[in-house]
Amino acid sequence: MDLTKKQKKELGRILVAGALLLLIGGLALGGVLPGVWYVRLPLFLIPYFLVGWDVLRSAILNVAHGQLLDENFLMAIATVGALVLGEYAEAVFVMLFYQVGELFQSVAVGKSRRSIAALMDIRPDMARVLRDGEEITVDPEEVGVGEILVVRPGEKIPLDAVVTEGRSELNTVSLTGEALPRAVAVGDAVISGCVNVSGLLHLRVTKEFGESTVSKILELVENSSLVKSKAENAVTKFAHWYTPAVVVGAVLLALIPSLITGDWQRWLETALIFLVVSCPCALVISVPLSYFGGIGAASRQGVLVKGGNRLEMLADADTVVFDKTGTLTAGSFTVTAVHPADGVARADLLRLCYAAEGNSNHPIAQSLREACFAEEIEELTADDVAELPGFGVCATVGGKRLLVGNAPLMQKEGIAFSVPEEIGTVVYVAADGKPLGSIVISDTVKPDAKQAIEGLRVCGVRRTVMLTGDREESARAVANALQIDEYRAELLPADKVASVETLFADKRGSLVFVGDGVNDAPVLARADVGIAMGALGSDAAIEAADVVLMDDCPSKITAAIRISRFTRRIVHQNIAFALIIKAMFLILGIFGMTNMWAATFADVGVAVIAILNAMRTLKCK
């Protein structure tokens, strides 16, 4: 067992106190020690204070600060009461076994934290940067955008960048959970946290460290434990009211029967047993530990969850709504058809598109540029270029007002077009209000998209819906291929939000939205659970989302739901187990059918079993 220095010290203290208890108890049972209290009490106080001084100190400090009722207070009152009643060995044993349980809890929580830390061990320690022709080593936070990094085989990529020299393979398992290496070459974007496997790479930094992928991931994981689930908040509120109720109940249990029967010894001891059994540590520790473990298990699968409440809501997933482009489809478009208007040459149509879309990062714009490069079309210069989110691009080319965009843009401008027969995304081109032609661009469905939809059905998700700005024919083809229950096409960003609002009326559990683009950010924020495709997704989508898929595989949604439901099941098991066992021992204690030794086993044993059960969430796949 891997213990910290502090935990080893605690273990040593427990072992010494336990040995003293056995020695003194053996002498007492053997009749070696006189039976008078002034001989036995001082001897038993030695192991008692050795193992319990910190509990007593915490109880006194908490009382001084107005925090009267917690587990330290309960254990202090119970053990001091046992000493007063002359049950010296029981008092020491209760404190000893309580500390054993506390040590076990500390080890369990530490193991969980180390497991997650190991999974997320992606923060680079240094960066090699070229400055004035020399290679120097600096802290990643000191590297600016545009500087050139040198990354050797076996080293972590410290910042998000683009490859300028070299070819290699990257190990992305810490980020995505994907074991297969990813090949990169000149011009490819790489993200921080990946490990360079084979070749020497020169990289041009595209984001400062604070904005890099590794920094955002670490921030998400660190903050996830601060966002509590409903179950965690309920346990906190329960403990807030439960402990005072237990203390009042113990006082009444000691007083009322004693006044009636006159048997003060028995009912005081019963009240102390009541206090020991009632200690709520099993719930207070195991429920947060379960969610912490669930978040860690999801991280190992390349799924970042921003808190226990998001994990809990994901377990109730009933309706899953997908954006199409970049989520269910690869987002890697290719030009499949060009339809120039009468009197317009194919090359001129492509040239105008290239001029307007030259500075856009949209996947459709990239496919248009690639088509122009492939046909070696001469470049034109565009002025006053303005992106129209959800519609397209407006620019001035050769003194003419050029529009490149979708059908709603043309309808808005009152320009009539004929719709191509080919299935795909259609880009319309017009100049000074006159149609110049259209270009059809096709996307491909992601390899695991169908597996994702099938997996959701197996998980019990009742309804799957696809939303897209594409035309009806393209949306229908993708929905039919993936067997999605419903689809809605030709939507603007505002229309997506409105569509989600209508879906809220018919949901029975949580509504989950999965998207990747800037236009999806409002919907991600509106959904009960927003899931962003992280590796290729926009910063705005990742910020708005509750869950981030690091490898852009929609099938990971099924894994996230499975982990969330397993975690919730563990939480419910622990709550039910702890309450049932405690209730049973409380009833047995009231009727005098148990003692302090059994009560201690009931309290600490329940806590240990609940913690062991909670740690199963770390291994969920």
CA 214 to CA 193: how far, in whole Å?
5
Strands, E, within 99-200: which ranges? 127-131, 134-138, 148-151, 161-165, 168-171, 182-184, 189-190, 195-196
Of 165, 174, 187, residue with least CA distance to 214: 174
Phi, psi of 68 (to 5 degrees): -75, -35
Distance CA 118, CA 108 (A): 15
Separation of alpha carbons 348 and 344, rounded Å = 7
C-alpha to C-alpha distance for 259 and 275, rounded to whole angstroms: 20
Could you give the CA distance from residue 289 to residue 294 in angstroms, rounded to a whole number? 9
Task: Report which of 77, 118, 113 is spatially closest to residue 95, judged by C-alpha positions.
Answer: 77
Q: Which of 206, 179, 208 lies closest to 170 in space, CA to CA? A: 179
Contact 535, 578 (CB under 8 A): no
The burial class, CB within 10 Å (0-12 / 13-18 / 19+), for 445 is middle
At 355, list the tokens. 């001029």
Catalytic residue (one of 70, 160, 323, 546): 323
Which residue's structure tokens are 């020695």? Answer: 23
From CA 620, how far away is CA 298, in angstroms rounded? 8
Those residues whose C-beta lies under 8 Å from the C-beta of residue 46, and which sit 6 or more positions away, are 20, 24
> What DSSP designation does 485 have?
S
Contacts of the segment 517-523: beta carbons below 8 A, 24+ positions apart: 517/323, 517/325, 517/326, 517/541, 518/389, 519/389, 519/390, 519/469, 519/493, 520/323, 520/496, 520/544, 522/493, 522/496, 522/497, 523/321, 523/323, 523/467, 523/496, 523/497
Q: Output the CA–CA distances (angstroms, integers) from residue 497 to 493, 505, 520, 533, 582, in the order listed.
A: 7, 13, 9, 18, 48
Active site residue 323: yes
CA angle 360, 365, 370 (to 5 degrees): 120
- The SS3 of residue 462 is coil
Rounded CA gap, 200 and 587, in Å?
70
Q: Which residues are annotated as catalytic?
A: 323
